[in-house]
Amino acid sequence: MTTEISQKGQPETFPESKSVARRGGNVAGKARKEAEKELGFRVTAYSIRRFAATKLYNAPNVSDGDVMQHMGHTRLSTTMRYVRRGCSLTDRDVEVMEKVF
């Protein structure tokens, strides 16, 4: 989120960059709180990454290597730590996370 705000505003000084970072953090924080309220459990950066990895892993025609690349990992073993095998995401979970994030 901060990246998008920064690209739009193109800060040139440290104080301007700090302001962009704060705005990005506020937007992300509001989205996280909304997701927690809807889902009924705590949402962390780790849980968001885990959600993305699991959703990609379960998607048809997506290879393990595709998931690894999307996650920015160089080792498949690192990626697989994020994947919850045997975990079926409910339609509601997916809907809330996609709406908020």
Share of the chain above pLDDT 90, in %: 21
Are 19 and 11 a contacting pair, CB within 8 Å? Answer: yes
Q: Which DSSP symbol is given to 44?
A: -
Are 51 and 89 a contacting pair, CB within 8 Å? Answer: yes
More confident residue, 76 or 13: 76
More confident residue, 6 or 25: 25
Are 94 and 55 a contacting pair, CB within 8 Å? Answer: yes
Q: What is the widest separation between alpha-carbon atoms in the chain?
A: 48
pLDDT at residue 73 in the model: 93
Mean pLDDT calculated for residue range 61-85: 92
